[in-house]
Structure formats: structure tokens, C-alpha cells
């Protein structure tokens, strides 16, 4: 999903390129050129920039403007996200992301850890220096949540008896953290009151769940060509996700229990075929439709504006985009 699919608001259109410039500046601020090369390449690969959209739209809806602190907030959250992806790629032994060779594939496992750490540290440092100690503390707490969510996922790897509730708990921490903190920072830089900040936090947390559940569904129900990575990759990695756990049959669960670590490509393809012929897609989309409505409902009561409209419409727009990518 591209930010160009969103309604055109001049303030947002002007701010997004500034965020990109700030991400690039932070990512390439090492005194060591080789760190800048890899960190800069990862961030230059782009992405959906949904976190930036939420932060900028939130600040605009709450205060009527997008100031420098909102731009820095968006850049810091995106840099944290990029750093976490470097670590994810290392854990997954991934060789490519968004058409770019991963740091671990190009330079090795040890250096990949260090590049990811550099990006996390630079984001926190920028938040402390250019936003506030409060912002830096919230970003640090989000990193801790992200790590704990990832640990929960690791503990459940290749466990066909993982519960959907455990999967939700993991993604609420692993993915929800950065969406949640982004919305909190949007409220913070807009000098919003506590009640508004809590509502924005809830909006971000719900959006994070929606985003990850749809991402997990696409891994099961889209194609390698559309995904830009092998379909069914989560199954190969032993990550049994919320949509899968709600749809899997006893027979399929037994297959995962006995063959999970040795599944052949043919077995993965067969399992995906069975899942796509089941209620997996309609049930997950129905769940996400309800979640998208909850996300929009969590928004604080604010004067109507184009920016508030973006925040209200974005959950459903992302759901519709994801549904369009399903075979």
C-alpha cells in the first residue's frame, strides 16, 4: 500500500518527503561509511510508511499543524522499525527484503546485529535531543515491548498447539508497540491532554493488530509474486500465526507436529492450497472488518478535519488493499 493511495492533504504531502529526508539523515549519521552504506540502503528501500501517516495525520488532526517534532517523531519510529527488520532478517536467515539484499546476507550475522542496534540507538538519541525526554522514554519502552513480543514468538516456534490468544499477545507487543508509540508521540507533540493521548494509544494498538493479522493472512493467501517473498514463509519458519491457528484442522495440526521442521515445498504448497479452500480468508477478513471498525471507533472526539478523516478511513482502506492482494 502506498501513501499515494491516501486522500491528498497538502500538509501531509509536504511533510512526507521531509520525513524521508530525516530518515535518510539519521540512518547515514555514523562516522563509519560502511554502517551508513547498509543502514542507508535498508531505509532507502522504502515501505508503506503507515506509521508516518498515522503520526503526521494525528499531529495535524490534534493541533492543526505538522511541526518539526512531528516530523522527527515519524522518522524515529520508522528508523526503529527498520532496525527491527534488520534483526528479523537475521533471525529468519532472510537473504532479501523489498528487492534489496539483507545486511546478514551481504555482510554477515554479527555485523547485521550491530547495524540494527545502530539504527535503534540513533532513533532514541534523536528523540531525546529533538523531541523530549518523554518521547525518548516512550520509544525505549516500545523497543522493550517489541523484543518481548519477538521472544514470545520464538518460544512458540514450530508449536502447532500455540493458541490464537498467544499469537495475538505476541503481535500486540511485537507489531503493536511501534504503531501505539507513534500515536502517543503524535498526541505528545500536539500537547494533547491525557484522555486524548490514551485514545490515540488505543487507536495505534488496534491498528497494529489489524496490520499484522492482515500481513499474516497475505503470507497464507497471496502469491510469491505479489508478496515479493515466498508465500507460506511463516510456516517454513515455524511461525504459526493467528489466521492459521484459527483455521487449521486436526489433520493439518498433526502434519505440523510431525513434519514442521522438515516440510518440503510440495507439502507447504499443499497446505496452502487446503487453507485457501477453507474458511481461512472469509473468517479472517470478517475478524479484521470488526477490528478496523474498533480501530476507527477508538479515535478521540475531535473537530472534523481532513486529517481526522484520514485516521478514520485508513483502517478500512488498508483492509481493502490487503483483500485485493489475496488470490
Backbone φ, ψ for residue 101 (5° rounding): -60, 135
CB atoms within 10 A of CB 292: 23
Give the separation between CA 139 and CA 159, rounded to whole angstroms: 31
Give the separation between CA 66 and CA 52, rounded to whole angstroms: 12
| Per-residue pLDDT at 3 | 44
Closest CA to 221 of 274, 171, 259: 274
Strand 96-97 to 100-101 pairing = antiparallel
Q: Quick check: helix, strand or coil at residue 100?
A: strand
Closest CA to 38 of 109, 88, 95, 86: 86
C-alpha cell at 235: 510456516
Strands (E), 61-164: 96-97, 100-101
Spell out the SS3 assignment of 68-111. HHHHHHHHHHHHHHHHHHHHHHHHHCCCEECCEECHHHHHCHHH
C-alpha cell at 198: 490514551
Bridge partners, residue 101, by sequence: 96
Residues 298/193, Cβ–Cβ less than 8 Å: no
| Per-residue pLDDT at 4 | 40
What tens-digit pLDDT sequence spans the chain (327 residues)?
544 445 578 999 999 999 999 999 999 999 998 888 888 888 887 678 899 999 999 999 999 999 999 999 999 999 999 888 888 777 877 777 666 777 777 777 788 888 889 999 999 999 999 999 999 999 999 999 999 999 999 999 999 999 999 999 999 999 999 999 999 999 999 999 999 999 999 999 999 999 999 999 999 999 877 877 778 999 999 999 999 999 999 999 999 999 999 999 999 999 999 999 999 999 999 999 999 999 999 999 999 999 999 999 999 999 999 999 997
Length of the chain: 327
Amino acid at each position: 500500500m502506498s501513501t499515494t493511495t491516501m486522500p491528498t492533504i497538502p500538509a501531509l504531502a509536504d511533510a512526507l518527503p521531509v520525513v524521508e529526508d530525516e530518515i535518510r539523515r539519521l540512518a547515514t549519521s555514523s562516522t563509519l561509511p560502511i554502517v551508513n552504506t547498509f543502514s542507508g540502503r535498508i531505509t532507502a528501500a522504502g515501505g508503506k510508511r503507515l506509521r508516518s501517516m498515522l503520526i503526521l495525520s494525528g499531529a495535524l488532526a490534534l493541533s492543526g499543524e505538522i511541526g518539526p517534532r512531528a516530523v522527527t517523531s515519524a522518522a524515529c519510529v520508522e528508523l526503529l522499525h527498520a532496525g527491527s527488520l534488520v534483526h528479523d532478517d537475521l533471525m529468519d536467515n532472510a537473504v532479501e527484503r523489498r528487492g534489496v539484499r539483507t545486511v546478514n546476507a551481504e555482510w554477515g550475522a554479527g555485523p547485521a546485529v550491530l547495524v540494527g542496534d545502530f539504527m535503534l540507538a540513533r532513533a532514541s538519541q534523536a528523540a531525546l535531543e529533538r523531541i523530549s525526554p518523554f518521547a525518548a522514554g516512550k520509544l525505549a519502552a516500545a523497543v522493550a515491548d517489541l523484543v518481548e513480543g519477538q521472544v514470545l514468538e520464538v518460544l512458540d516456534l514450530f508449536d502447532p498447539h500455540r493458541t490464537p490468544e498467544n499469537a495475538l499477545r505476541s503481535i500486540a507487543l511485537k507489531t503493536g508497540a511501534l504503531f501505539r508509540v507513534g500515536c502517543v508521540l503524535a498526541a505528545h507533540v500536539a500537547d494533547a491532554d491525557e484522555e486524548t493521548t490514551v485514545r490515540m494509544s488505543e487507536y495505534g494498538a488496534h491498528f497494529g493488530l489489524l496490520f499484522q493479522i492482515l500481513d499474516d493472512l497475505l503470507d497464507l493467501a497471496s502469491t510469491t509474486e505479489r508478496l515479493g517473498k515466498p508465500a507460506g514463509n511463516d510456516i517454513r519458519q515455524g511461525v504459526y500465526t493467528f489466521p492459521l491457528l484459527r483455521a487449521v484442522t486436526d489433520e493439518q495440526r498433526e502434519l505440523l507436529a510431525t513434519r514442521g521442521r522438515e516440510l518440503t515445498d510440495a507439502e507447504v504448497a499443499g497446505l496452502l492450497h487446503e487453507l485457501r479452500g477453507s474458511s481461512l480468508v472469509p473468517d479472517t477478513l470478517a475478524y479484521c472488518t470488526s477490528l478496523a471498525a474498533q480501530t476507527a471507533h477508538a479515535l478521540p472526539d475531535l473537530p472534523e478535519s481532513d486529517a481526522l478523516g484520514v485516521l478514520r478511513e485508513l483502517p478500512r482502506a488498508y483492509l481493502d488493499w490487503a483483500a485485493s492482494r489475496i488470490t
